[in-house]
Amino acid sequence: MNKTVLAAIIVTIAMLGFTYAAVEMAGGLDKLIKDGDWVNMLAILGAVILVIATTFVVTKYVRQMQNDTASGKLAEETWDGIGEYKNEPPFGWFVLYLIMIIWAIWYFLAGYPVNSYSQIGEYNQKVAEHDVKFNEQYKDMDDETLKEMGGSIFIVQCAPCHGLQADGINGQAADLTARISEKSVKYVVLNGSNSNLMGTSMPMPDRNGLLNSNTSALITDAEIDAVSKYVAGGLTGTEGADVFAGTCAACHGADGKGMEMVAPNIAQMSPEMVGMVLNHGKKGAIGAMPAFTNLTEVQHKAINAYVASLSQK
């Protein structure tokens, strides 16, 4: 008997032996059949087929390399004098591809449908059930308890970027202890905004669409600087007030508290505003903040209340 074939037989027997030992350590094939564990039985069958197919293919091609001689028509292209034969792919490859495609279709649709049991699916179901209980248990919290919970959530979800003190870690993220920075206001005025802060994609135009009704002209650089300082300062003082009244008040209101379905509140950080940012994310002067959709209803309400309270202290 050829040494290569003998070695293949020995390797096959050894690998099948290891597979059998692993099955016995798990309780044996009888237990799997008794429990109706078809998933693991398919895994065992796949392991056996894989071992046999691998040793057969390796043996076949090792022997072919030992005994066969090159034949066929050479391609015209060469690389440093090394040519390549125009041999057709082995027919067995096509058969294997076809078998694998058929098996994959069967596996996903019948053998182990994608909507069948899985540990990840069970975990997600348990989390969803717990979230329902959590929301029901804490749905009627008072404001102080709500903010206290929000503070705990902030440490886990928000502090990595905004810092434990919510000051933005030296400009790496928004400073949540202030309503809005002058830099952020100026960025929005210059570039416009479409951050879904009203719950829908109601865009604010960029500077080319902002007309100062007091001068009947597009807003100027000096007016942008003045109104940015005015809004960032809490809509106090006189500098920029006339620009705000003539340009911004039409949508945001004379007091800056916004109008429903028209423009958001820019006078103060409201829980509703925080919620919109968490739901949709926000792009601003510093960069883009991603949306956070992994919070429960109560957690969402708590973090909204906590963050909104930071700029009001």
Residue 108 DSSP label: I
Beta carbons of 88 and 94 less than 8 angstroms apart: no
Classify residue 182: in a domain, yes or no: yes
Assess whether 107 and 163 both reside in one domain.
no
Q: Rounded to whole angstroms, how far apart are CA atoms 18 and 24?
A: 10
Q: Tell me: the pLDDT tens digits for 16-62?
A: 888 888 888 877 878 877 777 777 888 888 889 988 988 888 888 88
Classify residue 137: in a domain, yes or no: no
Higher pLDDT, 200 or 29: 29
What is the model's pLDDT at position 102? 94
Q: 3-class SS at 12?
A: helix
Assess whether 107 and 185 both reside in one domain.
no
Q: Tell me: the pLDDT tens digits for 258-270?
A: 888 788 888 888 8
Lookup result for tokens 């329902």: 132
Over pLDDT 90: what percentage of the chain?
17
Which two three-digit tokens encode residue 260?
A: 């429903």
What is the model's pLDDT at position 44? 86
Assess whether 112 and 178 both reside in one domain.
no
Q: Rounded to whole angstroms, how far apart are CA atoms 4 and 62?
A: 8
Length of the chain: 313
Which two three-digit tokens encode residue 263?
A: 């423009």
Q: Tell me: the pLDDT tens digits for 51-107?
A: 898 888 888 888 888 777 767 788 888 888 788 888 778 888 899 999 999 988 888
> Across-strand partners of 289?
282
Classify residue 108: in a domain, yes or no: yes
Q: Look up the domain containing 102 and give its range.
A: 3-68+88-116
Q: 3-class SS at 86?
A: coil
Assess whether 167 and 274 both reside in one domain.
yes
Residue 213: Cβ within 10 Å count: 11
DSSP characters over 183-200: HHHHHHHHH-B-S-TTSS
Classify residue 132: in a domain, yes or no: no
Assess whether 101 and 250 both reside in one domain.
no
Average pLDDT on 244-269 reads 86
pLDDT band, residue 139 (cuts 50/70/90): confident
Classify residue 51: in a domain, yes or no: yes
* Number of compact structural domains in the chain: 2
Output phi, psi for 3, to 5 deg.
Answer: -60, -35
pLDDT of residue 201 exceeding 80, the answer is no
Q: Rounded to whole angstroms, how far apart are CA atoms 217 and 119?
A: 63
Assess whether 39 and 150 both reside in one domain.
no
CA distances from 304 to 128, 170, 307 (A): 21, 23, 6
Assess whether 175 and 101 both reside in one domain.
no
pTM above 0.85, yes or no: no
Beta carbons of 230 and 264 less than 8 angstroms apart: no
Classify residue 73: in a domain, yes or no: no
